[in-house]
Amino acid sequence: MSSMPNDSLFKPLPRAGGATVEIFVDDVPHRVASGLNVAAALLQEGVTACRTTPVKGAERAPYCMMGVCFDCLVEIDGVPNRQACMTPVREGMRVRRMDGARSVA
């Protein structure tokens, strides 16, 4: 997965209680605040590309963050085509970037 320095626009706000969960992004563990959606957790960790397009292989990242654009599609726990912005993180979740053509499953 692509990543870039996370010193620009996306800054997490302090959360009451400080509870965290561990998720795995392409098998790399990340500890993130509980209550985030997967897209926000990815951005917080500096992961900017969720998938690549099937024709040109262009990277796509979360865009609308409200379930309209479908640019944040990822595989979650083996299920492809999940909207990262609409899925809350949970302990042990496994997230994978989707590359190329999508399955219809």
Among 65, 62, 82, smallest CA distance to 98 is for 82
- Tens digit of each residue's pLDDT (9 = 90 or more) over 43-99: 999 998 999 988 888 999 999 999 999 999 999 999 999 999 999 999 999 999 998
Class of domain 20-96: alpha beta
pLDDT of residue 17: 72
Please report, for the chain, the start and end positions of each structural domain, with discontinuous segments joined by +: 20-96
- Tens digit of each residue's pLDDT (9 = 90 or more) over 13-44: 666 678 999 999 999 999 999 999 999 999 99
C-alpha to C-alpha distances, 8 to 4, 5, 11, nearest whole angstrom? 10, 8, 8
pLDDT of residue 12: 61
